[in-house]
Chains A and B, each alone.
Chain A
Amino acid sequence: MARMTFMGGIHTYDGKELSKDKPTSVLLPKGDLVFPLSQHIGAPAKPLVAKGEAVLVGQVIAEADGLISSNIISSVSGTVKAIERRLTAAGKMEETIVITNDNEYKKIEDYGRERDYSKMSKKEIREAVKAAGIVGLGGAGFPTHVKLTPKDDSKIDYVIVNGAECEPYLTYDYRLMLEEPETIIEGLKVILRLFDNAKGIIGIEDNKPDVIEKFKELTSGNSNIEIQALKTKYPQGGERQLVYVTTGRKLNSKKLPADVGCVVSNVATVAAVYMAVAKSTPLTNRIVTISGDAVTEPQNFNVPFGINFSEILEAAGGFKVQPEKIVFGGPMMGRAMYSYNVPVTKTANALIAFAKDEAAVEESPCIQCGRCYFKCPLNLLPMKLQLMGLNNEDEKFLELDGMECCGCGCCSYICPANRSLTQTIVQTKQRIINKRNEKHEQHELHELHKEHKAK
């Protein structure tokens, strides 16, 4: 059953008006294209090409390595210039494949061939999704073919399409929903083919009434697809909040949506599924938002993966004032970077440039006002978790369910004392996970050692 809203959450200045009304423009790359091997959650892909080799649009240049991984696909035709470490939007040097564009855009055979998905088997559909290198385009980058392969297909009751776009400033999903609603709806129909008992839900925040109207119109004949208008509140598009609001089912951090009979995918991902399955078009480009008060003409661009962000920024007129901070992704969960000389990847979906760094403020003592608790969508006590994190009290941190934190940033946003709540909690979580892994490794080494001795 659908709920009105979830607990907690915040209303921020959403900055969407900066970029939402301009139509998406297609931008072709000028320079080399850079494809990091790790653009998804899971193992990095394995390169299939060597330096000097010629590649085509749609060619798999690195293949999924292991169960949770994804193919990397060339978005241009040209030659492999190098396989080397380059700076990425993840903020580190990563192994990448660099391709020189020949500007001919020669495609692989079969590229764009129409297929009737209603005649395809479930296996064929999943194979097509996997081959197309599709991962969650909402920012997390979880391989979509894995998500679409739960233990038991018949236990999936809902396929939820995430059109909330609750992050401030971002409008790429809005533009996609406005410009290509049919692709999204068809994509949902493709996914519904995989799950016989499932119903489709498309959740859209009510700050996009035009989109809701359009989707309702387009699905009016289809009783198996429901359009839900969601209350505009951050983090409405968080997976656990979205599942709860649309179905009334609750997830904790240890559960996957599939455990409560749900599959959740972002609108762009669903559109990519349709293109891969019905049009034999692998995932080679996406819409990115360039916005922020320091950008001359904030807008959205449809760009090939691998294009350098500085080229897109140039197309948006560059900076009108020198920004203090550059963020990849939204201001709530995005990553700040010291440089924007990085490629667009499946998870680097936006560049926001702020003239002033609002977060560059000094912490003052906690006054126990409880705002962080009231805004926490997971009902945690951030002020206590932060103290435990700072004091290395891991036991107490676990006892207060610190591991449940989803890092949405509401507590830090709302804190009147400017405390770095989210930052410390997320860091503590990571520290505890690292410690566990270390212990696990040590244990394994120990076991190996014992085995060795026994021999």
Chain B
Amino acid sequence: MSDLYNVSAAPHTRSPIKTNTIMQDVIIALIPASLFGIFNFGLRALLVILVTILSCMVTEHVYCKLMKIKSDPWDYSDVLTGLLLGLNLPVSIPYWMAILGGIFAILIVKMLFGGLGQNFMNPALAARVFLFISFPARMSSFLVDKVSSPVVTDFLRDGALVLDGVAGATPLGQLKSGETVDLLKLFVGHIGGTIGETSALALLLGAAYLFYRKVITPIIPFSYILSFAVFALIFGGQGFDMNYVLGQVLGGGLILGAFYMATDYVTSPITPKGQIIFGIFLGVMTGIFRIIGTGVEGVSFAIILGNLLVPLIDMFTRPKSFGKERVKDVK
């Protein structure tokens, strides 16, 4: 036997970039935003994040065990979904809701549709929207400051009980009612919102890392944010008011959504052309939800709606293979 060597079809070499390294990179990119969330909202934020991650991991593994699916436990996709979900929840959410969200994301959105790579919408966002529709009040009560009680046991209690931080209007709410916002505060992130969405600075830091590692390209986030800014400029009714437009861009979940959720491989178009169309669609939909609609937040809804259109966009932006372009393109 020692004379026989491995035989397989070409190629015989493989790139060192693997699914798990990509997932790890995204997780690493989210660390600044997570740390800021914990700094901003206190240790309970950490607990919420850990609970969602654990919920996602357990759901995936139990499902795979029950259905006898051989899964790679270390592809980190479940950890990433959990982390993203945690960052998309308000710090005051009861733990059982966070757990429910994790189960919904993995079981309903991901595994029932075929697991990794087959989900038709972003699992974390779908779970957020599911929780938002089911428990609108709980999902939109945002703290502006730290959960003040430092007693450890308090972390374990239902969210409502520790809600002694200062609840208040989010920047988007302020903008909607015509007030101006402090842009610097908005950029740094010392504002109300979900755990991970408040600090544009921390999120952009992570995004820069993702660009550097070539995990994502700027096409989707830039076309998304740009088209949304243009929409806000035209339909915001504030004229050329930079405070308003920038406030809209930096406030709420836009930065988190544009760089980390809309760029999810599975639920975004493949070709650059398709990605631009996708980004513009998201920008316009977010604008409609935020500015024309009655709510203040629209990123989650816009992205999962966009996710549904991806197969259609992919169909219409099918690339032409090399040398088969129309005659006039060939010189």
Contact = CB atoms under 8 A, between A and B. Distances in A.
B330 interface: yes
Interface stretch (A205-213, A299-307, A331-339): A331-339
A319 B323 CA distance: 44
Of the candidates B4, B18, B318, B323, the one having the most CB atoms from chain A within 10 angstroms of its own CB is B323
B325 interface: yes
Given A337-B5, A359-B13, A365 B118 contact: yes
Nearest to B114: A365
26 contacts: A12-B13, A252-B321, A323-B5, A324-B5, A325-B12, A326-B5, A331-B13, A336-B6, A336-B7, A338-B4, A357-B8, A359-B6, A359-B12, A359-B13, A367-B77, A367-B116, A367-B117, A368-B265, A371-B17, A378-B322, A380-B319, A404-B322, A404-B323, A404-B324, A412-B14, A416-B17
**6 A-B pairs with the lowest CB-CB distances in the bound complex, closest first:** A252-B323, A409-B11, A401-B321, A423-B9, A378-B322, A365-B117
Given A326-B5, A364-B75, A373-B270, A334 B12 contact: yes
B330 to A, nearest CB: 5
Given A359-B14, A381-B270, A422 B320 contact: no
Nearest to A8: B322
A408 B271 CA distance: 21
A15 B6 CA distance: 20
Contacts of B153: none
A383 to B, nearest CB: 8
Contacts of B3: 338-339
B19 A416 contact: yes
Contacts of A448: none
A319 B235 CA distance: 72
Contact of B321 (A359, A367, A378): A378
A187 interface: no
Contacts of B9: 336, 420, 422-423, 426-427
Nearest to B7: A336
B294 interface: no
Which size bracket describes the interface of A in this complex?
A: 35 or more
Contacts of B325: 250
B321 A332 contact: no
A10 B271 CA distance: 18
A428 B6 CA distance: 23
A398 B270 CA distance: 20
Interface string A380-412: 110000000000000000001100100101001
A414 B17 contact: yes
A73 B77 CA distance: 59
Contacts, number: 164
B116 A336 contact: no
A151 interface: no
Contacts of B265: 367-370
B278 to A, nearest CB: 12
A250 B323 contact: yes
B6 A360 contact: yes
Contacts of B182: none
Interface string A1-41: 10000010010110000000000000000000000000000
Nearest to A326: B5
Given A323-B5, A337-B5, A338-B5, A361 B14 contact: yes
A416 B16 CA distance: 8
A422 B13 CA distance: 12
| Chain B, interface SS category | loop
B19 A417 contact: yes
| Chain A, interface SS category | loop
A366 interface: yes
Interface of B: 2-15, 17-19, 21-22, 72, 75, 77, 115-118, 265-266, 270-271, 318-325, 330-331
A225 to B, nearest CB: 23
B4 A339 contact: yes
B10 A334 contact: yes
Nearest to B323: A252
A336 B11 contact: no
A130 interface: no
Contact of A332 (B10, B21, B271): B10
Contacts of B77: 367
A250 B330 contact: yes
A370 B319 CA distance: 12
A240 interface: yes
Contact of B12 (A244, A358, A401): A358
B10 A422 contact: yes
A7 B11 CA distance: 20
Given A367-B265, A415-B15, 16 more contacts: A250-B330, A336-B9, A337-B7, A339-B3, A339-B5, A367-B116, A367-B266, A401-B321, A404-B324, A413-B14, A414-B15, A416-B22, A418-B14, A418-B18, A423-B10, A426-B9
A82 interface: no
A367 B11 contact: no
A373 B275 CA distance: 14
Contacts of B330: 249-250
A327 B4 CA distance: 12
A381 B331 CA distance: 24
A354 interface: yes
A272 B214 CA distance: 44
A358 B13 contact: yes
Nearest to B77: A367
A331 B319 CA distance: 28
